[in-house]
A and B are shown apart, each in its own frame.
Chain A
Amino acid sequence: MLDVKTWLDSWPVYRQLTGSDPMGRGKAARSKGTESTVSRTATADRVVKSVCPYCAVGCGQKVYVQDEKITQIEGDPDSPISRGRLCPKGSASKQLVTSPTRVTTVKYRRPYGTEWEDLDLDTAMEMIADRVLDARHKGWQETDGGKRVNRTMGIASLGGATLDNEENYLMKKLYSAMGAVQIENQARI
């Protein structure tokens, strides 16, 4: 059994009547929950520096990680561009990661199919590679209008502008090597 004095101390009315908070509206009213309040920023395992993925202002973000989960994303006050501030989208960006409607497994729709099917990632990669080689072949042009073009018109691509520079770079490099030229980006829009 609990020491009666300790237990009594935790009881607001007792604290109220005996302590410095006679009206019981402050110190005496503090609950267990309140006394054990910890900010989840304080318990994070690490804080990772990042950049907001929405508009092009490029606001600095601090990403709090606990148990390998994102627990908070907020502005990085060190950034001279954003000075720690975020707009509503930047403030909501944790939900991008934790959204319950996020799809995290491969989905496959076969030709003329009416529903999605599941597919494992490796199989999907191999299937896509098959189709790339096939489309590349079908759309291949050695020449066009008598001029050498050595390209395929069978493959096209459209990227968003939330792609990293490194990603855009590998995309352009690979597409060019496979001969695809209809490579576009949101930047055109």
Chain B
Amino acid sequence: MTISSASPAFTGRDPEHRLFGPLPDVQAEAGYQEEHPKRVGFFTDTSVCIGCKACEVACKEWNTLPMDDSHGTRDALGLSGMSYDNTGQLGANSWRHVAFIEQSRTVDLPMPTFGRPGDDRQGSGPSPATAGDDVSLANAQQSVLNAEALSEFDPQTGQTGADKQIRWLMSSDVCKHCTHAGCLDVCPTGALFRSEFGTVVVQGDICNGCGYCVAACPYGVIDQRKDDGRVFKCTMCYDRLTDGLMPACATACPTQSIQFGDLDELQERADARLATLKAQGVETARLYGRDENDGVGGDGAFFLLLDEPEVYGLPPDPVVTTRDLPAMWKAAGKAAAMMVGVALTAVLGSRRR
């Protein structure tokens, strides 16, 4: 047996294309060359989300995650004060997170206002003069309602009374299962792997808690559990998929805001939904993570949003952190191969003893 730098890992077809850009068969790239299932994913249509958090609970139930507070601290509780969001963020203990964003504006004034503490305006009408203070006081969960683009058909906007519109955006966030997953690319132990379903999963029996992946995730999803050391994130219920079931969150979702299925089919469905909303005049609707030419080659879990991604706490233009890695690898290849060889010899040697 010979192992050398001539191995396919370092001499394969144009590796640059494997670390960013469109990838029609992500599983094949990961070695599932024979028959493999179609790539699956989530399409989260936030326009029909009712913020019930069934996804969060169903996920925790299935995956037996610990209780935590909005900072991810295990077995702690506390009111966040951020609308109805007491989960705060995705983390090692929360693999689904429903964001709540309250926006409001008076109908006859184009000036947006905030529904938040410390609003010192008088009466019911907002005062443009206080807009600066508003910004400084606003907390991360709140944002301006895009008044110009807002349509009366916006599914998450209620005209309330004659003078005001309130939009209460709710969106269930989750690991994006990127086509080019930074976490996977940097994982030195092989704890993260691409499954036969095209999803990205942490293998708890391998992870050594080095935490490289945490910094590598362009979405800030993957997270270390402090009292355990290892990293955790959505597995898209890998175990359930092996039994032909849908992930727990999509199974529970009362309004089909979370849809699970073959990615290509979901993409078609999402395109159709977007077209419907656009036809109704919902100019603010957009797909997020749908574009395979984006910085992560498109997401396995993508979204229909009704506002800018930042409003939901999502990065506007995520780029896989390992985009420039191939060039670096070419230089580092020889050295790496040598180290692998040494490691293998050492291990084999030790087992022989």
Contact = CB atoms under 8 A, between A and B. Distances in A.
Interface in B250-289: 251-254
Which interface residue of A42, A88, A90 has the most chain B CB atoms within 10 A?
A: A88
Interface stretch (B28-36, B75-83, B142-150, B212-220): B28-36
15 contacts: A13-B340, A14-B344, A21-B32, A22-B8, A22-B12, A23-B15, A24-B190, A25-B185, A26-B32, A26-B195, A31-B205, A31-B206, A39-B240, A74-B251, A74-B252
Interface residues of B, number: 53
B245 interface: yes
Given A85-B254, A91-B61, A41 B203 contact: no
B204 interface: yes
B343 A13 contact: yes
Contacts of A172: none
Interface stretch (B49-57, B158-166, B226-234): B49-57
Given A22-B9, A88-B52, A88-B53, A29 B58 contact: no
B195 to A, nearest CB: 8
Contacts of B32: 20-21, 26-27
A23 to B, nearest CB: 6
Nearest first, the 6 closest Cβ-Cβ pairs linking A and B are A26-B30, A21-B31, A27-B31, A39-B243, A33-B205, A29-B193
Interface residues of A, number: 47
B7 interface: yes
A63 interface: no
Interface of A: 1, 4, 7, 11-14, 16-34, 37-42, 72-75, 84-92, 94-95
Contact of B57 (A4, A40, A88): A88
B205 A20 contact: no
A40 B203 CA distance: 17
A160 B85 CA distance: 30
Which interface residue of A12, A23, A31, A34 has the most chain B CB atoms within 10 A?
A: A23
A23 B195 CA distance: 14
Contacts of A27: 30-32, 196
Contact of B9 (A24, A37, A75, A86): A24
A49 B57 CA distance: 21
Nearest to B205: A33
Nearest to A5: B1
Contacts of B344: 13-14
A84 B245 CA distance: 12
